[in-house]
Amino acid sequence: MNNILVIGACGQLGTELTTRLREIYGEEHVVAADKKEPVSDLKEGLFEVLDIMDINRVKEVLKKYQITEVYHLVALLSATAEASPRFAWELNMNSLVNLLDLANEGHFKRLYWPSSIAVFGPNTPKVNTPQQTFMDPSSIYGISKLAGERWCDYYFDKHNMDVRSIRYPGLIGYKSLPGGGTTDYAVDIYHKAKAGEDFSCFLRADTKLPMMYMEDAVRATVELMQAPADQITIRSSYNVAAMSFTPEDVYEEIKKHCPDFKISYEPDFRQEIADSWNQSIDDSVAQRDWGWKPEYDLKRMTEVMLENL
Ligand code: AKB
Protein backbone atom coordinates (compact mmCIF):
# COMPACT_ATOMS: atom_id res chain seq x y z
CA MET A 1 0.00 0.00 0.00
CA ASN A 2 1.16 3.51 -0.82
CA ASN A 3 1.64 6.05 1.93
CA ILE A 4 1.12 9.54 0.60
CA LEU A 5 2.44 12.91 1.79
CA VAL A 6 0.79 16.08 0.44
CA ILE A 7 2.98 19.13 1.07
CA GLY A 8 1.10 22.40 0.71
CA ALA A 9 -2.10 20.58 1.66
CA CYS A 10 -3.87 23.73 2.89
CA GLY A 11 -3.62 25.56 -0.43
CA GLN A 12 -6.32 25.90 -3.08
CA LEU A 13 -5.56 22.59 -4.83
CA GLY A 14 -4.13 20.82 -1.76
CA THR A 15 -7.32 21.14 0.29
CA GLU A 16 -9.44 19.34 -2.30
CA LEU A 17 -6.81 16.92 -3.53
CA THR A 18 -5.97 15.72 0.01
CA THR A 19 -9.65 15.09 0.75
CA ARG A 20 -9.99 13.07 -2.47
CA LEU A 21 -6.81 11.08 -1.83
CA ARG A 22 -8.09 10.22 1.67
CA GLU A 23 -11.38 9.00 0.17
CA ILE A 24 -9.50 6.80 -2.29
CA TYR A 25 -6.61 5.47 -0.19
CA GLY A 26 -7.92 5.84 3.38
CA GLU A 27 -7.23 8.42 6.10
CA GLU A 28 -4.39 6.38 7.57
CA HIS A 29 -2.44 6.44 4.27
CA VAL A 30 -2.56 10.17 3.48
CA VAL A 31 -0.56 12.67 5.54
CA ALA A 32 -1.34 16.36 4.99
CA ALA A 33 1.46 18.85 5.63
CA ASP A 34 1.65 22.62 5.55
CA LYS A 35 3.45 25.52 7.20
CA LYS A 36 0.50 26.22 9.49
CA GLU A 37 -2.17 24.20 11.25
CA PRO A 38 -5.19 23.87 8.94
CA VAL A 39 -8.46 25.66 9.57
CA SER A 40 -10.34 23.14 7.39
CA ASP A 41 -11.36 19.50 7.92
CA LEU A 42 -7.83 18.45 6.97
CA LYS A 43 -6.84 18.37 10.63
CA GLU A 44 -9.27 15.48 11.19
CA GLY A 45 -6.70 13.19 9.54
CA LEU A 46 -2.90 12.84 9.81
CA PHE A 47 -1.31 16.29 9.73
CA GLU A 48 2.23 17.65 10.13
CA VAL A 49 3.35 21.25 10.40
CA LEU A 50 6.17 21.30 7.86
CA ASP A 51 8.35 23.95 6.24
CA ILE A 52 9.32 22.46 2.88
CA MET A 53 12.66 24.29 2.99
CA ASP A 54 13.63 22.44 6.19
CA ILE A 55 15.01 19.35 4.52
CA ASN A 56 15.80 17.50 7.77
CA ARG A 57 12.22 17.89 8.92
CA VAL A 58 10.99 16.71 5.49
CA LYS A 59 13.19 13.60 5.90
CA GLU A 60 11.84 13.05 9.40
CA VAL A 61 8.21 13.13 8.17
CA LEU A 62 9.00 10.85 5.21
CA LYS A 63 10.52 8.33 7.62
CA LYS A 64 7.88 8.61 10.33
CA TYR A 65 5.06 7.62 7.94
CA GLN A 66 7.10 5.39 5.56
CA ILE A 67 6.03 7.65 2.70
CA THR A 68 6.15 6.19 -0.82
CA GLU A 69 4.51 9.02 -2.78
CA VAL A 70 4.81 12.80 -2.41
CA TYR A 71 2.56 15.51 -3.86
CA HIS A 72 4.59 18.72 -3.73
CA LEU A 73 2.12 21.60 -4.13
CA VAL A 74 4.07 24.45 -2.54
CA ALA A 75 4.77 27.49 -4.74
CA LEU A 76 4.60 31.23 -4.86
CA LEU A 77 2.10 31.91 -7.68
CA SER A 78 2.42 34.35 -10.57
CA ALA A 79 1.27 37.63 -9.00
CA THR A 80 2.92 37.18 -5.59
CA ALA A 81 6.15 35.95 -7.16
CA GLU A 82 6.56 39.25 -9.04
CA ALA A 83 6.79 41.07 -5.70
CA SER A 84 9.72 38.88 -4.51
CA PRO A 85 11.33 37.26 -7.56
CA ARG A 86 14.42 36.05 -5.73
CA PHE A 87 12.45 34.45 -2.92
CA ALA A 88 9.99 32.92 -5.44
CA TRP A 89 12.85 31.39 -7.39
CA GLU A 90 14.45 29.95 -4.24
CA LEU A 91 11.21 28.56 -2.86
CA ASN A 92 9.85 27.18 -6.13
CA MET A 93 13.14 25.68 -7.34
CA ASN A 94 14.94 24.53 -4.19
CA SER A 95 11.88 22.78 -2.79
CA LEU A 96 11.51 20.77 -6.01
CA VAL A 97 15.17 19.92 -6.44
CA ASN A 98 15.44 18.91 -2.75
CA LEU A 99 12.53 16.51 -3.18
CA LEU A 100 13.92 15.08 -6.43
CA ASP A 101 17.17 14.42 -4.57
CA LEU A 102 15.37 12.80 -1.64
CA ALA A 103 13.49 10.50 -4.01
CA ASN A 104 16.73 9.68 -5.75
CA GLU A 105 18.33 8.80 -2.39
CA GLY A 106 15.48 6.34 -1.80
CA HIS A 107 13.43 8.29 0.76
CA PHE A 108 10.29 7.78 -1.34
CA LYS A 109 9.39 6.40 -4.77
CA ARG A 110 7.13 8.70 -6.73
CA LEU A 111 6.70 12.48 -7.01
CA TYR A 112 3.82 14.64 -8.23
CA TRP A 113 4.65 18.26 -8.95
CA PRO A 114 2.32 20.81 -10.57
CA SER A 115 3.38 22.99 -13.46
CA SER A 116 1.24 25.69 -15.05
CA ILE A 117 0.22 27.45 -18.26
CA ALA A 118 2.66 30.09 -16.98
CA VAL A 119 5.43 28.12 -18.75
CA PHE A 120 4.14 29.64 -21.98
CA GLY A 121 5.30 33.08 -23.05
CA PRO A 122 4.63 35.90 -25.50
CA ASN A 123 6.04 33.93 -28.44
CA THR A 124 4.27 30.65 -27.68
CA PRO A 125 1.37 29.93 -30.09
CA LYS A 126 -1.66 31.31 -28.20
CA VAL A 127 -4.40 29.13 -29.63
CA ASN A 128 -4.43 25.35 -29.18
CA THR A 129 -0.93 25.48 -27.72
CA PRO A 130 0.72 22.13 -28.49
CA GLN A 131 2.39 19.89 -25.91
CA GLN A 132 5.81 20.50 -27.44
CA THR A 133 6.23 24.12 -28.40
CA PHE A 134 8.28 27.29 -28.09
CA MET A 135 8.31 28.48 -24.47
CA ASP A 136 9.63 31.87 -23.33
CA PRO A 137 7.86 32.61 -20.02
CA SER A 138 8.21 36.20 -18.89
CA SER A 139 6.96 35.94 -15.28
CA ILE A 140 9.33 34.67 -12.60
CA TYR A 141 6.70 32.07 -11.67
CA GLY A 142 6.62 30.83 -15.28
CA ILE A 143 10.41 30.79 -15.46
CA SER A 144 10.55 28.68 -12.28
CA LYS A 145 7.86 26.30 -13.57
CA LEU A 146 9.64 25.81 -16.91
CA ALA A 147 12.96 25.19 -15.14
CA GLY A 148 11.13 22.77 -12.80
CA GLU A 149 9.76 20.86 -15.78
CA ARG A 150 13.28 20.47 -17.13
CA TRP A 151 14.50 19.18 -13.73
CA CYS A 152 11.68 16.60 -13.64
CA ASP A 153 12.49 15.40 -17.14
CA TYR A 154 16.19 15.29 -16.27
CA TYR A 155 15.60 13.10 -13.19
CA PHE A 156 13.44 10.73 -15.21
CA ASP A 157 16.06 10.55 -17.93
CA LYS A 158 19.10 10.16 -15.71
CA HIS A 159 17.65 8.30 -12.72
CA ASN A 160 14.47 6.73 -14.10
CA MET A 161 12.54 8.62 -11.45
CA ASP A 162 8.76 8.25 -11.48
CA VAL A 163 7.89 11.94 -11.53
CA ARG A 164 4.58 13.15 -13.00
CA SER A 165 3.17 16.60 -13.65
CA ILE A 166 0.33 18.63 -15.15
CA ARG A 167 0.39 22.18 -16.53
CA TYR A 168 -2.71 23.48 -14.75
CA PRO A 169 -4.78 26.28 -16.24
CA GLY A 170 -6.48 28.69 -13.78
CA LEU A 171 -8.29 26.56 -11.18
CA ILE A 172 -11.77 27.45 -9.94
CA GLY A 173 -13.60 25.89 -7.02
CA TYR A 174 -15.90 26.85 -4.16
CA LYS A 175 -14.28 24.86 -1.33
CA SER A 176 -10.94 26.67 -1.17
CA LEU A 177 -9.54 30.08 -2.08
CA PRO A 178 -6.60 30.74 -4.40
CA GLY A 179 -3.80 33.03 -3.31
CA GLY A 180 -1.55 35.21 -5.39
CA GLY A 181 -2.41 34.07 -8.92
CA THR A 182 -3.34 35.95 -12.09
CA THR A 183 -6.36 33.72 -12.68
CA ASP A 184 -7.72 34.32 -9.14
CA TYR A 185 -10.26 36.83 -10.51
CA ALA A 186 -12.24 33.88 -11.88
CA VAL A 187 -12.83 32.63 -8.32
CA ASP A 188 -13.37 36.06 -6.71
CA ILE A 189 -16.03 36.98 -9.27
CA TYR A 190 -18.30 34.16 -8.05
CA HIS A 191 -17.83 35.16 -4.40
CA LYS A 192 -18.81 38.76 -5.20
CA ALA A 193 -21.81 37.73 -7.32
CA LYS A 194 -23.05 35.43 -4.58
CA ALA A 195 -22.60 38.14 -1.94
CA GLY A 196 -24.65 40.55 -4.07
CA GLU A 197 -21.65 42.89 -4.49
CA ASP A 198 -20.20 44.54 -7.60
CA PHE A 199 -16.94 43.15 -8.95
CA SER A 200 -13.87 45.09 -10.00
CA CYS A 201 -11.75 42.97 -12.34
CA PHE A 202 -7.96 43.41 -12.47
CA LEU A 203 -7.86 42.04 -16.06
CA ARG A 204 -9.34 43.55 -19.23
CA ALA A 205 -12.76 42.31 -20.37
CA ASP A 206 -11.31 40.46 -23.39
CA THR A 207 -8.47 38.58 -21.66
CA LYS A 208 -8.97 34.97 -22.68
CA LEU A 209 -7.25 32.33 -20.56
CA PRO A 210 -7.48 28.55 -20.14
CA MET A 211 -9.38 27.55 -16.96
CA MET A 212 -10.54 24.39 -15.20
CA TYR A 213 -13.09 23.49 -12.54
CA MET A 214 -11.42 22.07 -9.44
CA GLU A 215 -13.15 18.71 -9.59
CA ASP A 216 -11.71 18.16 -13.06
CA ALA A 217 -8.26 19.25 -11.84
CA VAL A 218 -8.35 16.82 -8.91
CA ARG A 219 -9.56 13.98 -11.15
CA ALA A 220 -6.85 14.75 -13.74
CA THR A 221 -4.20 14.57 -11.01
CA VAL A 222 -5.47 11.28 -9.61
CA GLU A 223 -5.85 9.74 -13.08
CA LEU A 224 -2.34 10.73 -14.08
CA MET A 225 -0.89 9.31 -10.85
CA GLN A 226 -2.84 6.06 -11.27
CA ALA A 227 -1.81 5.54 -14.91
CA PRO A 228 0.64 2.70 -15.59
CA ALA A 229 4.19 4.06 -15.83
CA ASP A 230 4.72 2.72 -19.34
CA GLN A 231 1.84 4.87 -20.62
CA ILE A 232 3.43 8.10 -19.41
CA THR A 233 5.35 9.56 -22.35
CA ILE A 234 5.74 13.07 -20.90
CA ARG A 235 7.94 13.48 -17.82
CA SER A 236 8.20 17.27 -18.00
CA SER A 237 4.50 18.17 -17.64
CA TYR A 238 1.26 17.40 -19.48
CA ASN A 239 -0.98 19.96 -21.20
CA VAL A 240 -4.57 19.52 -19.97
CA ALA A 241 -7.54 21.55 -21.19
CA ALA A 242 -11.11 22.10 -20.01
CA MET A 243 -12.44 25.54 -21.02
CA SER A 244 -11.24 29.01 -22.03
CA PHE A 245 -13.03 32.25 -21.26
CA THR A 246 -12.65 36.00 -20.79
CA PRO A 247 -13.84 38.00 -17.75
CA GLU A 248 -16.73 39.23 -19.90
CA ASP A 249 -17.73 35.62 -20.76
CA VAL A 250 -17.86 34.57 -17.10
CA TYR A 251 -19.70 37.79 -16.18
CA GLU A 252 -22.36 37.11 -18.85
CA GLU A 253 -22.77 33.54 -17.61
CA ILE A 254 -23.15 34.68 -13.98
CA LYS A 255 -25.68 37.35 -15.06
CA LYS A 256 -28.02 34.58 -16.22
CA HIS A 257 -28.35 33.65 -12.52
CA CYS A 258 -27.75 37.08 -10.91
CA PRO A 259 -29.30 39.69 -13.27
CA ASP A 260 -28.28 42.68 -11.09
CA PHE A 261 -24.61 41.73 -10.93
CA LYS A 262 -22.23 44.49 -12.12
CA ILE A 263 -18.60 44.38 -13.26
CA SER A 264 -16.00 47.10 -13.86
CA TYR A 265 -12.50 46.74 -15.27
CA GLU A 266 -9.33 48.15 -13.69
CA PRO A 267 -6.39 46.25 -15.20
CA ASP A 268 -3.23 46.26 -13.06
CA PHE A 269 0.24 44.62 -13.33
CA ARG A 270 -1.41 41.21 -13.68
CA GLN A 271 -2.66 42.18 -17.15
CA GLU A 272 0.87 41.93 -18.51
CA ILE A 273 1.26 38.44 -17.02
CA ALA A 274 -2.08 37.32 -18.49
CA ASP A 275 -1.21 38.80 -21.90
CA SER A 276 1.94 36.70 -21.99
CA TRP A 277 -0.01 33.43 -21.47
CA ASN A 278 -1.87 31.33 -24.00
CA GLN A 279 -5.62 31.24 -24.65
CA SER A 280 -6.35 27.59 -25.29
CA ILE A 281 -4.59 24.26 -25.06
CA ASP A 282 -4.10 21.17 -27.19
CA ASP A 283 -4.20 18.30 -24.71
CA SER A 284 -4.31 15.44 -27.21
CA VAL A 285 -1.20 13.83 -25.69
CA ALA A 286 -2.85 13.59 -22.23
CA GLN A 287 -5.99 12.23 -23.90
CA ARG A 288 -3.97 9.58 -25.72
CA ASP A 289 -1.65 8.59 -22.83
CA TRP A 290 -3.99 8.40 -19.86
CA GLY A 291 -7.47 9.10 -21.23
CA TRP A 292 -7.87 12.71 -20.01
CA LYS A 293 -11.33 14.21 -20.62
CA PRO A 294 -12.82 17.24 -18.82
CA GLU A 295 -16.38 17.17 -17.50
CA TYR A 296 -17.08 20.82 -16.72
CA ASP A 297 -17.59 23.73 -19.10
CA LEU A 298 -18.31 27.37 -18.12
CA LYS A 299 -22.07 26.85 -17.94
CA ARG A 300 -21.94 23.78 -15.69
CA MET A 301 -19.18 25.22 -13.50
CA THR A 302 -21.15 28.46 -13.00
CA GLU A 303 -24.23 26.55 -11.88
CA VAL A 304 -22.22 24.50 -9.37
CA MET A 305 -20.25 27.49 -8.07
CA LEU A 306 -23.33 29.65 -7.47
CA GLU A 307 -25.26 26.78 -5.94
CA ASN A 308 -22.53 25.90 -3.45
CA LEU A 309 -20.94 29.16 -2.39
C1 AKB B 1 -1.68 31.73 -11.43
O2 AKB B 1 -2.56 32.48 -11.90
O3 AKB B 1 -0.58 32.12 -11.08
C4 AKB B 1 -1.99 30.27 -11.34
C5 AKB B 1 -1.53 29.51 -12.54
C6 AKB B 1 -2.19 29.72 -13.84
O7 AKB B 1 -0.62 28.74 -12.44
N8 AKB B 1 -3.40 30.07 -11.12
ipTM score of the complex?
A: 0.98
Ligand 1 centre distance from Cα of residue 108 (Å): 28
Class of domain 4-169 (CATH, top level) = alpha beta
Closest of 93, 75, 80 to residue 13, by C-alpha: 75
How much of the chain is in helix, strand and coil states, percent to nearest 5?
45, 15, 40
In angstroms, what is the span from residue 84 Cα to ligand 1's centroid? 16
**Cβ of residue 181 lying under 6 Å from some atom of ligand 1:** yes
Q: What is the pLDDT of residue 11?
A: 95
Ligand 1 and 142: CB distance under 6 A: no
120, 183, 208, 209: which to mutate for ligand 1, most atoms within 8 A of CB? 183
> Which positions are annotated as active-site residues?
141
* Residue ranges, the chain, pLDDT below 70: none
Position 43 scores a pLDDT of 81
**Ligand 1 neighbourhood includes 144 CB (under 6 angstroms):** no
Ligand 1 within 6 A of 207 CB? no
By C-alpha distance, which of 109, 125, 105, 106 is closest to 117? 125
Selection from 172, 191, 190 nearest residue 242 by Cα:
172
The domain ranges of the chain are 4-169, 171-211+242-308
Report the 10 Å Cβ neighbour count for 49.
12
- Biggest CA–CA distance in the chain, Å, is 58
- Cβ-based neighbours of 160, under 8 Å, separated by 6 or more: none
Q: Which CATH superfamily is domain 171-211+242-308 in?
A: UDP-galactose 4-epimerase, domain 1 (3.90.25.10)
